[in-house]
Each structure stands twice: as structure tokens, then as C-alpha cells.
């Protein structure tokens, strides 16, 4: 089993519903976020292109954050989901520095926090909150090892890319372009 | 100069309540994470869900509000069976929890008092506040007649207070959503198809092959099911054609983007009509069977060629032809979207007419992938004594103007509140509910004058807003998450109803609008109109009439009914009578001709920005609704302020840098209250600027929103009124840039 997410940039409108749904689902304090939306603009008027991307932890196979964690708080669970155990975390911030996606933040209660792929939902067979709420249905989530899963089909049928491939982390958030 | 009604910032009051609510919230959150540290990952452990429908915008998506073991609302999700949202709320609906948890909420009734020469608010009991409002209502009725009491409203509270006002004897009930927003398209489509558009719009986007958006920025306006259907249509390979001077989000998803010169849309529409007719691309069977006036229309647009329009719109003739052919190729599965906020230039009914005509030529009205025939569930009215017949209504406040206005015109009622020899009927007092008029209405000076002229104003709201600062009495309403309201029975492909019920106890001393109305009614001797203890009795009675019950709806939230009005689309060749005077789709409008207006749309040039000025365009951000969400903690977190979009060439000319804060000054010398951040972007033309509406709050009690961004409404001092229905065209205002603090200049 290997969980992954694909996000269709052709459909995303950048509304940030994924951000607020994550906050209310996961009790993320106001002023912090586990996911966010970026916009890149190319060209000059009137020949312009924009790409909107919902970004978050890439749940990398080769995760620098897990490797550099001094306490084992950052770890990988079934399905390749990268998690942080709050009571083991000393808040040193090494993982924050090591992440090429800037996906982690310091929680005001003293530990490091980030996207969990909504592990508490996916282990019950539900979709992560961001995927479940997205009004454009631009996010696909599932098991890469299952060739018939929504995510496998999305990646089969569309051109896609990952962010910062040069970091060699083998990330698991894909962008359909 | 001293005025009778000074704007009072409520900050002096209610600070204890504010602090308390904040503590309670963090306690609830603290419990979830400190009991078991891993719960921080696992969300909330035990949640209870309650059905509701959203009040953050007018789409009214049905959902579930989740409460934790302390009875606090922690999250809201969409109802899977609701066609407005299909289980997916938009960011505002998801962030609705912030409306409930906002520590700045109004929590006690407030009464304006004069202390020496200073006006302030003091807290009052409901008893006292209601007695005062009812007393004033009696007094106004005796002195001037009940008709001189007007209600300005938006949203659910308006239904209850509107009911009260009708029982009291006034039908002067008005919402800015008509004359400052969607009114012109209702009149334009009504004149063409004999049917307005309504809400939600019956656009069959999910099955369309071609979606044409004229200045409509779907995706930035999160009209939920429409955005969802557009996304589905993108999956199916829809052709999107976007006409916008700005490279909107949806423009980036479009096959054709027409970067039009602002204020020239009507010329483009007429050129498209010209192409469709001269190249015989229209749906001949449909046009022959269902329409009238093709010959007159063909003659009318004869010379309105793409070459003619090029000189006006700056859109190349080839692009005009290609996009017209793309529409025709998709027809009848094509939607020239009516838009929503369409009060732009004062000829808006005529522009809407041109859009309606184009739909008629392409045969999209009543066709799959075009416009479906909507149906709503008819909910019987709870029995009540007949309303008294008012001696006059809002129609009399129009002073013979705007003959096709279908609903009350807010700007006309504001004018009627300022004593003038022209006014035959005078408004003397206001009830305001759910609409923040100072950040809604153009021409703030006129609004201020009206508020100074009236004898009394009571405001019902959940938040301290700019409007509450002008009230004599403030009645704090609880949020939609803490109250019963009317059943939602909006039209859709199939009739649906949705229930809103309280998910939590009202915060502070806040009350639902139904209760406020009943209390006022009883004080006014109108108790017979409020023959129930709790509004849930009314809903239960209504539900039983349609074969359901409150008990059932409390479990399911949303219920679907069978269609009764016939098929969703016109069957091929089926007879159909349109509700126009000819019974047909009217390209030549007999109704407009009879009222003395152009029977077919005519392009007229609009004022252009003077040198060093740029047209002020405004719009929406997907995470905010008007000015009402700017202070919502969750939504503020997503977007804290608006910025002003400036083309890089213009920025270079002015030496303005991205991220710099500047002030905007309009053609009448009005300067924005606050500086606004510059966004230098290739996404906008060099002749206009753009900002998201609803920011630049001046009420300090809005601890997050105060002073953040600039208010476009303040800069809209000039309007072009639509002579057909009274709408205020607001896009004829021009701004220039001040890089230094204008107040500093004044001091030196």
C-alpha cells in the first residue's frame, strides 16, 4: 500500500477550501496551516498563464525530515504516511529546516506539525478532509499500489509533475498539468 | 460639524463578553489536544452533527454542523444529498465556524445615548430594547403611517422582519441584491424569455459544451454548485469563452479569453449576434418555432460587424468570429451566462438583453447543456391573519421612474429618506438586517445624508459593522448555526428542501430574528400573526403539509421531491408558450418598446478614464462574501486584506513596486480611508485596476478587519442609473495613486 495524492491544476481555482477544511478537521490553530495554495503567473498581458497549486507535505519515500529527527518523533507509518508524534517531539525544528517543501510548522503547543494525509480518516476508508471538501474535485487520493485506484488512473491518463524533483525525496504529491 | 447621528465605534462596550468567548473557544480546543496529545492528529474525538444550511452567502448550501462534547461548533461539512453543494461546502461555508466563534460578535442589545455632547451606546436588556423599537414603530405609524417604515435586508433575518413589517402595514422591503447586483439581468431575461433567472441560476453547466462568461469570474465567486459543475465540464472538455479585462482564474481555464476594453461588452455581444445571423449559425428550427423579431434584429445588427466592434472593444475581428463559431458549434449545449453582479454601466438591462438574445439565437433556453426549466417545492404559508393593505409601496418612491423595476430599488428608498420637494412619499425610519449598507451602497454621501434625515434606525446583525455604528438601537442576532429559520426551497433541477436548526446555544445574549420579530409583533398588538411559541412549530406544520416532519428533517437535513412541472428540457419540436406578451422569445421586445426604451440593445460609449486615472474594477475572492466575512477568524486567516492589481507597465510609469502600500483617489477627490497593497501583475490591462470588494472596514470593533485594505464602495461616488429598472451602474469610477500618506500632506 502506498498512499499518494494528485492535484489537477487545470481544475483548481485556488479557493483555499482545502486550507480551511484542514484547519477545522485537524484543529490547526488560526494563523497556521498544514496546506496552502500558491499561484504562479507566466507571460505578459495578454499572453498570460497561471498555475494554481494546493501544496502540503509530500509524504516522501526518502524523507529528510524523518532522517534528521533526533527523537524518532517524525516517522513513517503504513501507506508511506509521514507523521509526527507530538509528545516525542522536542520542537528542535531540524525537520522544518530540512524539508524542501517548507511543509512543517512549529505548533504553539511546542511540537512540530504538518499534513497527516488525515491518517485518522484514511484508516477508516475516508478521504482526507481537503480532498473531500474540494468544490472542483481537483484532488485525487488513494493507493498507488492498486492499479485501479482513482490516483493510479489519474496518473495513467494525464501528464504530471512533482515539485522539487532535484531534491531526490521521491515525493508523493503529483500535479496533473 | 456635529451631526445628530455620529458614527459610534462600539469598542467601548462589551469587552468583557469578547474576552470570555475567546477563552471558551481555546478551552474547547485545549481539551481536545491536552487530554491525549495524539488527538491533535486525530481531529475531534466525539462529534455530534446537526443539519443546517449556510448563511455566509446566498447560495445557501445545506450542511452538517459538528459540535464537540462541550457543545461548541468545531467544523461544518456539506450535506451529500444537497444539489447546492453535493457534500462539498466552499471555503466560506467550511469557514462558517468562524462566524460562530468570532470573539467580536455583538452579544448584548445596545441603545444609543447622549452623554454630554458625546454619543455612545450602552448595554440594555432585550425588554428595554424591544420596548424602545416597538414604541418607535408605533410612533412612526401614528405620525406618518406604517408605510414610512422601511426594511433594508439581506438573507434569512429579512424574511422574519419582512413578515413583521407586512403585518405592521409596510411593504417597503428592499435588498441591495437587486439594484446593486442582479436586477438588470432579471429584467433583461424576463423581457426576452418571459422568465427571470433567479437563484441558483438554472444553468446546465455540467452538461454544457460551451460556457461563455461575460465579466463573470466563476471560481473567484464561489457559487458552489456552478463551480463544481464547471469543473466537471472541464473534465469533459468544455470550451470556455471568457470576456474580461482581467485574466481571471477562469480566463486561465478558457479556450478563448477576450481581454476586452472595459465598458464595451455590449459592442462585442452585438458583433457576436451579427456573426451568428450573417453566417446563419443560429438554430433555425428553434428560432422559427419559439422566437419573434429575427428580421428586425438582423437589420438592427447589420452594420455591427466584428470590424466595427474591433475599434471599440480592442478584440480582433478574427477572435470575435472564431469565438462566435465555437458557440454555434456547441449549440444548443451552450450557455451565455447571465452573470450575477451586473450593475456596471447603467445600460445593464440592455447588455443582459443582448446576452439573452444570443442564448435565444443559439437555442439554449430549455435545452440540455443550456438552461433547464427549474422547479422548486412550494411550501404552504403558515396560516396568519391577512396583511393590512398599505396605502403606498416602494413603487411610489420611484417618482415615475424605472418602470420595469420588479423589486424595490434600494437607492430610490434611500433617496426617499432624504426630504425633498420631489419626494411624494417619504421614508422616516429604517430597520436594517444583515446588510452593511456603508460598504454596500455606492454614493456614501447620499447614504449618510439619508441616515441623518431619518428619525429612527434599528439594526439587527450578528457583528458590529459600519451600519451598526449609525443605529439608534442594535439588536444582536445569533448566527445561522444557533437558530431555526425558514425552510430553504430554492429551485433546482428537482425540487429540494433543506432545514436549518440550532446546532449550539446562542453565544452571549443573542436571539434569532424570528424571536425578535415575534417580540416586536406582540408589543405592536400583532400577536395574532405570531401564533406560536417557537418557530420550529411553524416549520413542523409546513413540513407536515408536504409529507415530511421536523423529526424526519432533523435526521436528514435535505429532502428531494418529484418534479411536477413537466420535463427539464424542451422536447424536440414540442409546443411551448413563453410568458412574454407574444408568447415567444422576443428578440424585439414589445415590453421595452411600450415603455419607451430601445426594443433591441444599442451600444453607447461610456466615460473613459482621464489621464493618470484608471477604471476601478472590483470583484470577489473565493473565501469572502461582501464585507461580512472580512473579520471571520478562519476566513481572515485565508485572506486578510485586498490588494490593488496594477499592470507592470503602469507600475513602472509610477515607480510603484509590488507590496508597496498606496492610497487611491477617485475622480471626485475621494481618497481611500486606508492604504492598500499593490499587486503588480500581468493579469490586468493597463487602463484599469482591480480590487476585491468588502475590505477597508472602519469599525475598530472588528479587531481583525479594521483598517485592512481599501473599500471600493467608498470610491464609487458616481453611478449611472439604469433607466429601465433603477440599478446603479458602478464601474464608471476612476482612480489615481497617492504614494504618500494624504493626511501627512494635509498636516505639513
pLDDT for position B46: 78
> Does B630 fall in a domain?
yes
Q: What is the mean pLDDT of residues B410-429?
A: 95
Chain A residue numbers with beta carbons less than 8 Å from the beta carbon of B685 are 45
Residue B10 confidence (pLDDT) above 80: no
Q: B399 — contact with chain A (CB < 8 Å)?
A: no
Contact flag B222-A20 (C-beta cutoff 8 Å): no
> Which residue on chain A is closest to B231 by alpha carbon?
A136
pLDDT for position B6: 54
Mutate to test the interface with A, among B43, B227, B649 (most CBs of A within 10 A): B43
Which residues in B392-414 are b (16+ Cβ under 10 Å) and which e? Answer: ebbbbbbeeebbbbebbbbbbbb
d(CA B489, CA B496): 6
pLDDT for position B728: 98
The residue assigned the cell 440550532 is B502
Task: Confirm if B738 and B671 have CB atoms less than 8 A apart.
Answer: yes
> Does B713 fall in a domain?
yes
pLDDT tens for chain A, 177 residues: list them.
Answer: 999 999 999 999 999 999 999 999 999 999 999 999 999 999 999 999 999 999 999 999 999 999 999 999 999 999 999 999 999 999 999 999 999 999 999 999 999 999 999 999 999 999 999 999 999 999 999 999 999 999 999 999 999 999 999 999 999 999 999
> Does B361 fall in a domain?
yes
> Does B231 fall in a domain?
yes
> Which residue on chain A is closest to B219 by alpha carbon?
A13
- Same domain as B307, residue B276: yes
Mutate to test the interface with A, among B30, B36, B41 (most CBs of A within 10 A): B41
- State how far residue B545 is from chain A, nearest Cα, in angstroms: 34
- Same domain as B620, residue B589: no
Tally of domains within chain B:
2
B40, B94, B683: residue with CB nearest A24: B94
- Same domain as B681, residue B577: no
Q: B252 — contact with chain A (CB < 8 Å)?
A: yes
Maximum alpha-carbon separation in chain B = 77
| CATH number of domain containing B347 | 3.40.228.10
The domain in which residue B709 lies consists of 614-747
d(CA B345, CA B357): 19
> Which residue on chain B is closest to A89 by alpha carbon?
B37
- Residue B40 pLDDT level (bands cut at 50, 70, 90): very low
> Does B19 fall in a domain?
no
- Same domain as B574, residue B708: no
- Same domain as B686, residue B635: yes
- Same domain as B678, residue B587: no
DSSP string, chain A: --EEEEEETTT-----HHHHHHHHHHTPPTT--S-EEEEEEEEETTEEEEEEEEE-----SS-HHHHH-SSS-EEEEGGGEEEE-GGG-----HHHHH-TT---EE-TTSSEE---TTHHHHTTTPPPHHHHH-TT--EEEEETTSTTSHHHHHHHHS-EE-S-GGG-----EEEE-
| CATH number of domain containing B734 | 2.40.40.20
> Does B197 fall in a domain?
no
- State how far residue A41 is from chain B, nearest Cα, in angstroms: 8
Residue B25 confidence (pLDDT) above 50: no
The interface predicted TM-score of the complex, written ipTM, equals 0.95
Share of chain B above pLDDT 70, in %: 93
Tally of domains within chain A:
1
> Does B462 fall in a domain?
no
| CATH number of domain containing A74 | 3.30.70.20
Residue B9 confidence (pLDDT) above 60: no
Contact flag B88-A135 (C-beta cutoff 8 Å): yes
- Same domain as B586, residue B714: no
- Residue B8 pLDDT level (bands cut at 50, 70, 90): low
Contact flag A48-B622 (C-beta cutoff 8 Å): no
- Residue B748 pLDDT level (bands cut at 50, 70, 90): low
- State how far residue B283 is from chain A, nearest Cα, in angstroms: 31
> Which residue on chain B is closest to A26 by alpha carbon?
B43
Contact flag A11-B88 (C-beta cutoff 8 Å): no
The domain in which residue A123 lies consists of 3-176
- Same domain as B706, residue B582: no
- Same domain as B690, residue B588: no
- Same domain as B318, residue B229: yes
pLDDT for position B35: 37
Q: Which helix (H) or strand (E) holds B78?
A: strand B73-78
* DSSP 8-state secondary structure symbol assigned to residue B278: H
The residue assigned the cell 428537482 is B494
> Does B126 fall in a domain?
no
Contact flag B74-A83 (C-beta cutoff 8 Å): no
- Residue B413 pLDDT level (bands cut at 50, 70, 90): very high
Q: What is the mean pLDDT of residues B238-267?
A: 98
pLDDT for position B22: 29
Amino acid at each position: 500500500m502506498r498512499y499518494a495524492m494528485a492535484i489537477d491544476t487545470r481544475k483548481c481555482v485556488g479557493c483555499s477550501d482545502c486550507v480551511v477544511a484542514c484547519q477545522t478537521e485537524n484543529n490547526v490553530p488560526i494563523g497556521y496551516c498544514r496546506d496552502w495554495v500558491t499561484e504562479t503567473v507566466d507571460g505578459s498581458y495578454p499572453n498570460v498563464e497561471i498555475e494554481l497549486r494546493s501544496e502540503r507535505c509530500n509524504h516522501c519515500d526518502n524523507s529528510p525530515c524523518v532522517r534528521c529527527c533526533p527523537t524518532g518523533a517524525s516517522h513513517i507509518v503504513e501507506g508511506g504516511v509521514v507523521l509526527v508524534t507530538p509528545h516525542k517531539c522536542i520542537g528542535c525544528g531540524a525537520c522544518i529546516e530540512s524539508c524542501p517543501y517548507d511543509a512543517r510548522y512549529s505548533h504553539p503547543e511546542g511540537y512540530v506539525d504538518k499534513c497527516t494525509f488525515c491518517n485518522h480518516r484514511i484508516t477508516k476508508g475516508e478521504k482526507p478532509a481537503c480532498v473531500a471538501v474540494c468544490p472542483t474535485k481537483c484532488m485525487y487520493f488513494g493507493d498507488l499500489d492498486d492499479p485501479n485506484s482513482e490516483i493510479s488512473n489519474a496518473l495513467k491518463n494525464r501528464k504530471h509533475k512533482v515539485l522539487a524533483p532535484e531534491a531526490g525525496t521521491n515525493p508523493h504529491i503529483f500535479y496533473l498539468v | 460639524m456635529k451631526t445628530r447621528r455620529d458614527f459610534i465605534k462600539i469598542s467601548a462596550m462589551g469587552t468583557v463578553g469578547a474576552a470570555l468567548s475567546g477563552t471558551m473557544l481555546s478551552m474547547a480546543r485545549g481539551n481536545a489536544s491536552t487530554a491525549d496529545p495524539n488527538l491533535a492528529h486525530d481531529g475531534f474525538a466525539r462529534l455530534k452533527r446537526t443539519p443546517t444550511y449556510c448563511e455566509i452567502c446566498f447560495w445557501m448550501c445545506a450542511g452538517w454542523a459538528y459540535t464537540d462534547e462541550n457543545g461548541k461548533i468545531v467544523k461544518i461539512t456539506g450535506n451529500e444529498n444537497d444539489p447546492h453543494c453535493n457534500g462539498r461546502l466552499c471555503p466560506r461555508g467550511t469557514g462558517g465556524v468562524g462566524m460562530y466563534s468570532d470573539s467580536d460578535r455583538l452579544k448584548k442589545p445596545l441603545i444609543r445615548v447622549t452623554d454630554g455632547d458625546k454619543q455612545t451606546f450602552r448595554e440594555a436588556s432585550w425588554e428595554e430594547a424591544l420596548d424602545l423599537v416597538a414604541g418607535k414603530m408605533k410612533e412612526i405609524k401614528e405620525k406618518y403611517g406604517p408605510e414610512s417604515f422601511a426594511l433594508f435586508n439581506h438573507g434569512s433575518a429579512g424574511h422574519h422582519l419582512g413578515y413583521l413589517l407586512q403585518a405592521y402595514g409596510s411593504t417597503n422591503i428592499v435588498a441591495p441584491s437587486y439594484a446593486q447586483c442582479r436586477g438588470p439581468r432579471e429584467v433583461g431575461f424576463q423581457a426576452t424569455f418571459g422568465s427571470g433567472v433567479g437563484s441558483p441560476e438554472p444553468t446546465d453547466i455540467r452538461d454544457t459544451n460551451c460556457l461563455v462568461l461575460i465579466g463573470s469570474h466563476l471560481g473567484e465567486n464561489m457559487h458552489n454548485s456552478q463551480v463544481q459543475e464547471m469543473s466537471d465540464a472541464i473534465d469533459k472538455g468544455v470550451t470556455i469563452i471568457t470576456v474580461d479585462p482581467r485574466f481571471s482564474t477562469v480566463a486561465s481555464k478558457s479556450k478563448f479569453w477576450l481581454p476586452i476594453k472595459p465598458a464595451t461588452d455590449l459592442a462585442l455581444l452585438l458583433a457576436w449576434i451579427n456573426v451568428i445571423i450573417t453566417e446563419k449559425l443560429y438554430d433555425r428550427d428553434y428560432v422559427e418555432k419559439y422566437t419573434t423579431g429575427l428580421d428586425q434584429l438582423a437589420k438592427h445588427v447589420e452594420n455591427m460587424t466584428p470590424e466595427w466592434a474591433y475599434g471599440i472593444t480592442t478584440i480582433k475581428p478574427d477572435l470575435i468570429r472564431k469565438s462566435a463559431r465555437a458557440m454555434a458549434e456547441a449549440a444548443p449545449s451552450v450557455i451565455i451566462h447571465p452573470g450575477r453582479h451586473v450593475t456596471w454601466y447603467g445600460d445593464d438591462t440592455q447588455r443582459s438583453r443582448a446576452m439573452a438574445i444570443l442564448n435565444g439565437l443559439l437555442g439554449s433556453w430549455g435545452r440540455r447543456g443550456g438552461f433547464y426549466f427549474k422547479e422548486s417545492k412550494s411550501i404552504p404559508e403558515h396560516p396568519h391573519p391577512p396583511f393590512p393593505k398599505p396605502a403606498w409601496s416602494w413603487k411610489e418612491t420611484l417618482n415615475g421612474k424605472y418602470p420595469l423595476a420588479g423589486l424595490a430599488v434600494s437607492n430610490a428608498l434611500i433617496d426617499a429618506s432624504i426630504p425633498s420637494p420631489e419626494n411624494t412619499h417619504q421614508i422616516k425610519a429604517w430597520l436594517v438586517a444583515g446588510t452593511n449598507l456603508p460598504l454596500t451602497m455606492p454614493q456614501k454621501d447620499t447614504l449618510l445624508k439619508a441616515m441623518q434625515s431619518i428619525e429612527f434606525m434599528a439594526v439587527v446583525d450578528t457583528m458590529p459593522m459600519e451600519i451598526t455604528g449609525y443605529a439608534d438601537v442594535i439588536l444582536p442576532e445569533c448566527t445561522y448555526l444557533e437558530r431555526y429559520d425558514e425552510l430553504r426551497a430554492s429551485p433546482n433541477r428537482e425540487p429540494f428542501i433543506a432545514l436549518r436548526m440550532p446546532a449550539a446555544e446562542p453565544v452571549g445574549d443573542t436571539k434569532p430574528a424570528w424571536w425578535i420579530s415575534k417580540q416586536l409583533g406582540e408589543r405592536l398588538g400583532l400577536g395574532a400573526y405570531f401564533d406560536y411559541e417557537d418557530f420550529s412549530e411553524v416549520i413542523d406544520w409546513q413540513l407536515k403539509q408536504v409529507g415530511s416532519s421536523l423529526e424526519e428533517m432533523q435526521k436528514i437535513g435535505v429532502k428531494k421531491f418529484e418534479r411536477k412541472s413537466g420535463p427539464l428540457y424542451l422536447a424536440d419540436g414540442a409546443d411551448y408558450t413563453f410568458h412574454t406578451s407574444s408568447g415567444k422569445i422576443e428578440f424585439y421586445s414589445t415590453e421595452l418598446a411600450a415603455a419607451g426604451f430601445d426594443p433591441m440593445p444599442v451600444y453607447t460609449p461610456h466615460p473613459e478614464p482621464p489621464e493618470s486615472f484608471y477604471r476601478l474594477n472590483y470583484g470577489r475572492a473565493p473565501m469572502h462574501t461582501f464585507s461580512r466575512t472580512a473579520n471571520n477568524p478562519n476566513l481572515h486567516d485565508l485572506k486578510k486584506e485586498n490588494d490593488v492589481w496594477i499592470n507592470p507597465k503602469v507600475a513602472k510609469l509610477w515607480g510603484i513596486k509590488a507590496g508597496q502600500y498606496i492610497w487611491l483617489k477617485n475622480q471626485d477627490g475621494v481618497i481611500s480611508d486606508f492604504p492598500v497593497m499593490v499587486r503588480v501583475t500581468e493579469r490586468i490591462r493597463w487602463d484599469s485596476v482591480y480590487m476585491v470588494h468588502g475590505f477597508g472596514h472602519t469599525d475598530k470593533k472588528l479587531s481583525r478587519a479594521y483598517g485592512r485594505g481599501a473599500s471600493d464602495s467608498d470610491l464609487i461616488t458616481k453611478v449611472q442609473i439604469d433607466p429601465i429598472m433603477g440599478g446603479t451602474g458602478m464601474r464608471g469610477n476612476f482612480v489615481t495613486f497617492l504614494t504618500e500618506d494624504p493626511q501627512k500632506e494635509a498636516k505639513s
